Structure 1
Amino acid sequence: MTDILIVDDHDLVRTGLKNILAGASDLEVAGEASTGEDAIRLSRKLEPDLVLMDVGLPGLSGLETTERILKAQPDVRVIVLTAHSEPPLPARLLDSGASGYLTKACDAGELLRAVRKVAQGERYIGADISQQLAISLLPGTPQSPFQELTGRELEIALMLTQGMRMQSIGEVLNVSPKTVATYKYRIYDKVGVGSEVELLRMALRHGLVSEV
């Protein structure tokens, strides 16, 4: 039996995933979380075999949450299930240790195949993600300005696009607001923007976040 922790901030998505997984006798939903902080806490408590992880979580993003879970529990396997397929998120999350990456456009059959393959120790990348990764490596392909960001810069950029204040970001990441400010203006410089509004517009343009 494969125990699974579902991490997504939308009740409807979590319910849909539970219904899909409930039809498989070899899979069991051990728990669910709507934030990265809850996901980390529940992962330690429940010790699931696998985590289905969204990227666009409130506060701590799926990127940082994945890194923290895998640092504390290296045997846990993570499949990213998100609406975001544009660079640099897929490559960053796979580099961070995720064993699979799917978009929410996948069907139930592919989700179950991915879960079973990853549970068996394999990696699984959805066809649309594989195509995006391959295209991004072709010479002359326009690159997202967010690909210039480090992992921590990308994490803070995601938080800034949510409208989080520097004090709150510092509390989540355990760094000072001054350190967050340094990262913020470094991000602005690399991405080529001058405000949080411009950063959000750029993130929307390059598929890093979605309009609600």
Structure 2
Amino acid sequence: MIRILIVDDHAVVGGGLKQFLTNTGGFEVAGEARTGQDALKLVSTQSWDLLLLDIGLPDLNGIEVLKRIKRERPELPVLIFSMYSEDEYALAAREAGAAGYLPKNSAPEEILAAIRRASAGECYLSPQLTERLLSGSASISRKLPHDRLSARELDVMLMISKGIPLTEIAEQLHLSPKTISTYRTRVLEKLELKHNTEITRYVLKHKLDN
């Protein structure tokens, strides 16, 4: 029995997927989350064989949720199940550690194939995307400025966005204020921003923290 957590803010989608998998047999939808924060809590407190994750969550960007989950549970297969087209996010999701990417309009047999392959530790890309990648016709997955940040730079950015002074950030991260100031400068340069207020706006716009 494959124990699955569905993360989707639309109850109808989650409920329909749960009924479909239950009727198929061999799957147990043992949990559902409507927000990224709820998903992170469930992943940290319970055991799962597979996570079905939407990108368009109300609090955190799904790709950001994926990155955090893979840092905490790198062995957990995460399959993106989204309304966005594969060309937009599939490659970015793979780079972030996703086992595969499924558009929500996928045929039932394709959903089952993806779930089975992902839960077995394999990767899944749809035949259509695979063909476009091989032919070179797939558009390049969107790269956002914060994707260029290191893990430490991202930590500093999120703390700055909460209004935490640099000296306090230095204390919390056990680093010198000068080092934190250097990280701040790198964040501003990489995001092409000018001051802390713009960092806060950026974090809110891209749902990077909650």
Q: TM-score, structure 1 length as denominator?
A: 0.67
- Give the secondary structure class of the aligned counterpart of 1:118: helix
**Quick check: 1:36–1:59 contact (8 Å CA) kept in 2?**
yes
How big is the shift at 1:130? 3.1
Instruction: Give the direction of change, closer, same or farther, for the CA distance of 1:66–1:148 in structure 2 (3 Å limit).
Output: closer
Distance (whole Å) between structure 2 residues aligned to residue 74 and residue 142 of structure 1: 28
Distance between the aligned counterparts of 1:12 and 1:28, measured in 2? 18
Contact 1:2 1:26 (8 Å CA) reproduced: yes
Deviation at 1:34, TM superposition (A): 0.8
Q: More displaced, 55-64 or 78-87? A: 78-87
Distance across 2 between alignment mates of 1:183 and 1:108: 45
Counterparts of residues 1-212 of structure 1 (less than 5 Å)? 1-85=1-85, 87-131=87-131, 133-134=133-134, 137-138=136-137, 146-147=142-143, 149-151=145-147, 174-177=158-161, 182=188, 186=192
Shift of residue 95, structure 1, vs aligned partner:
0.9
Output the aligned Cα RMSD.
3.4
| Cα distance in 1 for residues equivalent to 2:100 and 2:69 | 15
Contact 2:146–2:190 (CA<8 Å) still a contact in 1? no
5+ residue gaps, structure 1, are 154-169, 188-195, 201-212
Structure 2 Cα separation of the partners of residues 92 and 38 of structure 1 = 23
Give the match's secondary structure for 2:78: strand
Mapped contact 1:92–1:151 kept (Cα < 8 A): no
Provide the rounded CA distance (Å) in 1 between the counterparts of 2:127 and 2:59: 29
Distance 2:81 2:49 in 1: 16
User: What SS class does the counterpart of residue 57 from structure 1 fall into?
Assistant: coil
Query: In the TM superposition, what is the alpha-carbon distance from 1:86 to its structure 2 partner?
Result: 5.0
Structure 1 Cα separation of the partners of residues 144 and 73 of structure 2: 29
The 1:120/1:185 distance shift into structure 2, 3 A limit, reads: closer
For 2:31 and 2:127, how far apart are their aligned partners in 1?
28
The 2-side partners of 1:26 and 1:33 are apart by 21
Contact 2:90 2:101 in 1 (8 A): yes
Q: Structure 1, residues 34-58: CA drift from partner, whole Å, max 9, x if none?
A: 1111111111222111000101111
Alignment length (residue pairs): 171
Distance 2:117 2:188 in 1: 42
What SS does structure 2 have at the residue aligned with 1:124? coil
Call closer, same or farther: CA 1:99–1:12 in 2, change over 3 Å: same
CA–CA distance in structure 1, aligned partners of residues 103 and 32 of structure 2: 19
Residues 85 and 132, structure 1, Cα contact 8 Å, conserved in 2: no
Q: Which has more radius of gyration?
A: 2
Shift of 1:128: 3.7
Moved more, 121-130 or 8-17: 121-130
Question: Conserved in 2, the CA contact under 8 Å of 1:6 and 1:31?
Answer: yes
Could you tell me how far apart the structure 2 residues matched to 1:46 and 1:40 are? Answer: 10
8 Å CA contact 1:55, 1:80 repeated in 2: yes
1:113 positional shift = 1.4
Amino acid at match of 1:186: E
Q: Identity rate of aligned residues, in percent?
A: 34
Structure 2 residue matching 1:42: 3-state secondary structure:
helix
Q: 1:70 to 1:11 in 2, by over 3 A?
A: same
